[in-house]
């Protein structure tokens, strides 16, 4: 032991993975970012996370015995009871025993949950005002995630898929999504989608600058009309998706994190305007619902991951995936048609 009891939060994203040493007060005292290599398997990536965790601790003069808990946020569906990553379409991970892998390296059983739910939990603990009891934490990065807090509880849903805003349908027969469906929100508004749309609309206007979403935002800030138009369309797409979610759940705030939440003028503020323009009259009249960037910024999922033990403690366990014998086969999903 060398001092304060620490927590480790790991935020696995489609583009990068962040690891942080977090104090009991939610302060990140050291962190490390590693790429999430395209096509990496869960087992390989966990090996990298483990060695980076050891490195992070060594660099900070800490030891594993200083660590109270490890939590991992993943960009997809994860079962917190088993620590199995059920489905991460952006990584191509399907039914991967992530907690088992990590435990075999570090000898600590980690808590595992969807990244956007980790972000929502961080908001509950350290972000939004305590008076805001029901909100959405929307992460905009490689994909679009949405953690839901209703009456101070994280919503999992009967199928553990609550908050799949990114895979809700925005356009019938729209763009092909990695999840197998078409027209999903994240094919239009995520960081990767914005870059893809820019490369389709004005491939010659990058002017030798890096082919990154950052450059699209820089062009828009410089007054490049096609980049400005593209951001307007993307924001309009996201606003419609967010308004639909608010209409269903009647939350009083939408908090943005993920890589794009850093653009107040170009992203957060115009999104707020559009959402409020599209509001359903009874909630517009209350002047209550607001859209804003997380105070915790892009660190929200990592901080929340460090406190997953406290999130899961207050949670009823998710019902077993196995049906009683009498129902076996009755609800079997038909095979997915080839697309």
**List of residues contacting Mg ion (CB under 5 A):** 13, 115, 141
Residue 184 contact partner, candidates ligand ADP, Zn ion, Mg ion, none, CB within 5 to 8 A by sort of partner: Zn ion
* CA pair distance 119, 18, nearest whole angstrom: 13
Out of 142, 187, 294, 299, the residue judged to bind ligand ADP by CB under 6 A: 142
User: Minimal distance in Å, beta carbon 262 to ligand ADP?
Assistant: 5
Binding mask 74-113 for ligand ADP (x = CB under 6 A): ----------------------------------------
* CA pair distance 146, 92, nearest whole angstrom: 20
Q: Which of residues 256-285 bind ligand ADP (CB under 6 A)?
A: 258-260, 262
* CA pair distance 229, 197, nearest whole angstrom: 11
The answer to the question of residue 195 lying near ligand ADP (CB under 6 A) is: yes
Binding mask 142-181 for Zn ion (x = CB under 5 A): -------------------------x---------x-x-x
* CA pair distance 149, 138, nearest whole angstrom: 11
* CA pair distance 221, 267, nearest whole angstrom: 11
Q: 169 vs 64, 176, 179, 186, CA distance in Å?
A: 44, 11, 11, 9
Among the listed ranges 101-109, 229-237, 252-260, 285-293, the one in contact with ligand ADP (CB under 6 A) is 252-260
Out of 9, 14, 20, 127, the residue judged to bind ligand ADP by CB under 6 A: 14
* CA pair distance 204, 196, nearest whole angstrom: 13
> How many residues in total does the chain contain?
339
Task: Give the contacts of 94 (CB within 8 A, at least 6 positions apart).
Answer: 86, 87, 88
Residue 175 contact partner, candidates ligand ADP, Zn ion, Mg ion, none, CB within 5 to 8 A by sort of partner: none
DSSP 124: I
Binding mask 109-138 for ligand ADP (x = CB under 6 A): ------------------------------
Residue nearest to Mg ion (CB): 13
* CA pair distance 71, 26, nearest whole angstrom: 13
Residue 191 contact partner, candidates Mg ion, Zn ion, ligand ADP, none, CB within 5 to 8 A by sort of partner: ligand ADP
Sequence-ordered strand ranges (E) for 151-250: 153-154
Q: How far is CA 241 from the centre of its chain?
A: 16
Task: Give the contacts of 222 (CB within 8 A, at least 6 positions apart).
Answer: none
User: Minimal distance in Å, beta carbon 174 to Zn ion?
Assistant: 10
Among the listed ranges 14-22, 57-65, 153-161, 199-207, the one in contact with ligand ADP (CB under 6 A) is 14-22
Residues near ligand ADP, by CB under 6 A: 13-16, 141-142, 191-192, 195, 213-214, 217, 258-260, 262, 298
């Amino acid at each position: 032991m060398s001092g304060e009891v620490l927590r480790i939060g790991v935020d696995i994203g489609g583009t990068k993975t962040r690891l942080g040493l977090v104090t009991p007060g939610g302060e990140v005292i050291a962190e490390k970012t590693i790429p999430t290599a395209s096509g990496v398997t869960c087992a390989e990536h966990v090996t990298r996370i483990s060695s980076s965790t050891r490195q992070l601790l060594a660099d900070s003069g800490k030891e594993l015995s200083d660590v109270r808990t490890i939590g991992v946020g993943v960009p997809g569906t994860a079962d917190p009871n088993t620590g199995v990553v059920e489905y991460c379409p952006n990584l191509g991970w399907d039914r991967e025993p992530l907690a088992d892998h990590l435990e075999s390296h570090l000898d600590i059983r980690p808590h595992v949950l969807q990244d956007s739910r980790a972000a929502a939990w961080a908001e509950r603990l350290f972000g939004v005002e305590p008076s805001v009891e029901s909100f959405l934490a929307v992460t905009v990065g490689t994909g679009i995630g949405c953690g839901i807090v209703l009456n101070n509880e994280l919503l999992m849903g009967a199928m553990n898929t609550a908050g799949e805003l990114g895979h809700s349908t925005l356009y019938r027969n729209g763009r092909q999504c990695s999840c197998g469906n078409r027209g999903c929100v994240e094919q239009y508004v995520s960081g990767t989608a914005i870059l893809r749309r820019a490369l389709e609309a004005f491939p010659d206007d990058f002017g030798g600058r890096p082919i990154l979403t950052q450059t699209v935002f820089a062009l828009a800030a410089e007054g490049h009309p096609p980049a400005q138009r593209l951001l307007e369309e993307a924001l309009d797409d996201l606003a419609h998706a967010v308004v639909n979610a608010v209409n269903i759940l009647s939350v009083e705030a939408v908090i943005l994190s993920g890589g794009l939440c850093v653009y107040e003028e170009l992203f957060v503020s115009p999104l707020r305007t559009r959402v409020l323009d599209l509001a359903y009259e009874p909630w517009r009249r209350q002047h209550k619902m607001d859209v804003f960037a997380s105070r915790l910024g892009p660190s929200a999922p990592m901080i929340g991951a460090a406190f997953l033990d406290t999130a899961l403690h207050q949670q009823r366990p998710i019902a077993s995936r196995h049906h009683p014998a009498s129902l076996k086969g009755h609800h079997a999903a038909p095979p997915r048609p080839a697309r």
